[in-house]
Structure 1
Amino acid sequence: MASVWVGNRGTIRDYSGFNASRDAEAIRKAIRGIGTDEKTLIDILTERANAQRQLIAREYRAASGKDLKDDLKSDLSGNLERVMVALVMPPAVFDAKQLKKSMKGTGTDERTLIEILASRNSKQMKEISQAYYTVYKKSLGDDLSSETSGDFRKALLTLADGRREESLKVDEQLAKKDAQILYNAGEKKWGTDEDKFTEILCFRSLPQLKITFDEYRNISKKSIEDSIQGELSGHFEDLLLAIVKCVTNTPAFFAERLHKSLKGAGTDEFMLNRIMVSRSEIDLLDIRAEYKKNYGCSLYSAVKSDTSGDYGSTLLRICGGDD
């Protein structure tokens, strides 16, 4: 069965000649020795696809009676620990944990909620919701409900439900109709009908939205982004703009976020790890191309100048090469 987490533009592929028990044994030695052998850990975990890492974790548990994730946690620290632990989690569980973390404690990290919910497809969202319930014994929807409000909450819940259409077929007539509805709900109306924006932007397939946005420009002589910026505000506006960016060009959306995580004072390692790990088997090659095109330097060189040590090496291995 093809995983919904694997695309054909990833930097990490299935490792040929893979042997889970041999890898598990090598990892055990690397952790058990005096001082951890980080190089072995990096070599193995960044060169195996996630499905293979799950098999390694299973073998590791069978051989040692311990959880690989826990052993990595107790043996490593800081950013290296976080990225290594991220690599050994199934993608849906990793996303579920990121969502939980963004809602824990005081204040909600809306940027993370927006990034994940705007960019994952319906099948992925269904797996994330299941993983969330399995790990936390609470529904993702309930937690989102208690942490957010208003139109932002409504749109997040719609996305979390994984009800976006997935068909690649587009319907020109529907696009014209939807574009008109959006125009009537925003630009043409005194006050905005937010529900209409949520209904169309959170339910329609990405190819369908692409032609809807073209039609919108024909009707209103403005881009849908300009209208959203003019009509809406706050996190709801941020979420819809993120959806529009993902519809237009998902790799460019992630390249922009990586750029934000790397530039300025201090690196946002949480965002950096999340995007590098979660896109490494989907479209990181395309993200690299967009990064180079939009920011004038390669993602590889940006990561290299902003990170160091074993942590930096791990990210560079995930990145997969310089452009």
Structure 2
Amino acid sequence: MATKNQTSSSHGSSESDCKEIHDSWGRLNHIVQALASKNQLERLQIRETYMEIYGEDLISHLQKAQITSQSQSYESGLSPKMSAALSMWMLGPHERDAVVARDALDQQSDVNYKSLVEIFVGRKSSHVLLIKQAYQTRFRRQLDQDIVNIEPPHPFQRILVALAASHYAHQADVSQHIAKCDARRLYQTGEGRSGAIDETVVLEVLSKRSIPQLKLTFSCYKRIYGHDYTKSLKNENYGEFEDALKTVVKCIYNPPKHYAKTLYASIKGTTTDKGALLRVMVNRAEVDMDEIQKVFKKKYGMELRDAIFENIPSGDYRDFLISIATKTATDIS
């Protein structure tokens, strides 16, 4: 009985939220307040209830508001950037990652490999499978095949293919023995010999190990050889493959540090990855944003929300990002 009452109460709350959103297109702050504070399940309920009441998908309505604002001097009260932000926020995690992947690949010769790496490294295998399904449903394309078909070829491409393979078959439990063996192989085919790294060995390790297993391998590498594996990739004679591998390893080994640095570069405008700020804020909000903020403060001496406030122009978009930054991270169900 309690569960039924809770469900009824939740539905009633989402109806109220939907009505407030529907009546607030000219008062943007109400929309930001109504949506930015909601967790994933609450947003899903709002989206479903909005469809029931108004017969239209809320995300489609937000996207229309963006088009309207672009052509009619923001009569809807939604700036293009804000409409895009709210649309991304309202998507479920699998569909959102599918959209991020498509956007990354749509850059043609300037593919956003970093955002693709974050998907394959930062998600569980079960989640990656759902991303691929969402990608196929939404775009009528195969994500793996689109990565294989990237032109011109790039070292990131070979690494991504290996990471995609790693999500298909691997041991569920991590192994110290395997981690030590892989660490030694990486050393012997890298800094332990002269010349470039043996890409074949690296790609084999990446393709056959889970992300948790790879993280343990890099931890063992540091314990055995006294420094991070990424330090061995800084040889000035190395090329694009080693540079790409360094980015991937950092994302695997210390995700909060990787995302903190990505956020800082985006906030300061020192990166060409223009969508990084919104992508990381939305994608990590209910995963590890609390840990990212701790690293950010320790590394840069200021709170993430303060950095956003000081560096992002005032307005709806800044308010939205600050709202997300102040949320307490919760597990995605």
Shorter-chain TM-score range: 0.7 to 0.9
User: Within 2, Cα distance between the matches of 1:210 and 1:66?
Assistant: 44
What amino acid is aligned across from residue 145 of structure 1 in structure 2?
V
What amino acid is aligned across from residue 45 of structure 1 in structure 2?
L
Secondary structure at 2:275's aligned position in 1?
Answer: helix
Identify which of 262, 275, 290 aligns with 1:270: 275
Deviations 1:156-204 (A, max 9, x none): 123234237474x442322221122112222234443212112223543
Identify which of 174, 187, 196 aligns with 1:183: 187
Deviations 1:177-232 (A, max 9, x none): 11221122222344432121122235434443344334434655553112233375
8 Å CA contact 2:50, 2:58 repeated in 1: yes
Identify which of 121, 124, 132 aligns with 1:121: 124
Over 3 Å counting, the alpha-carbon distance change for 1:244 and 1:191 in structure 2 is closer
Identify which of 310, 316, 323 aligns with 2:316: 310
State the 1:21 CA deviation: 4.9
User: Within 2, Cα distance between the matches of 1:268 and 1:151?
Assistant: 18
* Aligned counterparts, 1:154-165, within 5 A: 154-161=158-165, 162-163=167-168, 165=170
Structure 2 alignment gaps of length 5 or more: 1-5, 66-77, 329-333
Secondary structure at 1:19's aligned position in 2?
Answer: helix
Moved more, 158-167 or 175-184: 158-167
Structure 1 alignment gaps of length 5 or more: 1-14
Q: How many residues align?
A: 305
What amino acid is aligned across from residue 149 of structure 2 in structure 1?
S
8 Å CA contact 1:92, 1:124 repeated in 2: yes
What amino acid is aligned across from residue 229 of structure 2 in structure 1?
I
State the 1:124 CA deviation: 2.0
8 Å CA contact 2:63, 2:87 repeated in 1: yes
Identify which of 26, 44, 51 aligns with 2:41: 51
What amino acid is aligned across from residue 19 of structure 1 in structure 2?
S
Over 3 Å counting, the alpha-carbon distance change for 1:248 and 1:31 in structure 2 is same
Deviations 1:27-60 (A, max 9, x none): 3453346x52322211221122112211211111
Over 3 Å counting, the alpha-carbon distance change for 1:254 and 1:171 in structure 2 is same
What amino acid is aligned across from residue 195 of structure 1 in structure 2?
T
User: Within 2, Cα distance between the matches of 1:299 and 1:89?
Assistant: 24
Aligned to 2:86: 84
Secondary structure at 2:234's aligned position in 1?
Answer: helix
Aligned to 1:63: 53
User: Within 1, Cα distance between the matches of 2:184 and 2:143?
Assistant: 33
Higher relative CO (Cα under 8 Å, sequence separation at least 6) belongs to 1
TM-score, with structure 1 as normaliser = 0.83
Aligned to 1:244: 249
Secondary structure at 1:147's aligned position in 2?
Answer: coil
Over 3 Å counting, the alpha-carbon distance change for 1:207 and 1:39 in structure 2 is same
Over 3 Å counting, the alpha-carbon distance change for 1:163 and 1:246 in structure 2 is farther
Deviations 1:255-295 (A, max 9, x none): 11101111146996621111111111111111110000001
User: Within 2, Cα distance between the matches of 1:194 and 1:242?
Assistant: 15
Identify which of 288, 292, 295 aligns with 1:287: 292
User: Within 1, Cα distance between the matches of 2:303 and 2:159?
Assistant: 35
Over 3 Å counting, the alpha-carbon distance change for 1:96 and 1:207 in structure 2 is closer
What amino acid is aligned across from residue 314 of structure 1 in structure 2?
F
8 Å CA contact 1:21, 1:56 repeated in 2: no
Over 3 Å counting, the alpha-carbon distance change for 1:233 and 1:165 in structure 2 is farther
What amino acid is aligned across from residue 178 of structure 2 in structure 1?
L
Over 3 Å counting, the alpha-carbon distance change for 1:242 and 1:302 in structure 2 is same
Q: CA-atom RMSD, angstroms?
A: 2.9
Aligned to 1:4: none
**Percent of pairs with identical residues:** 29
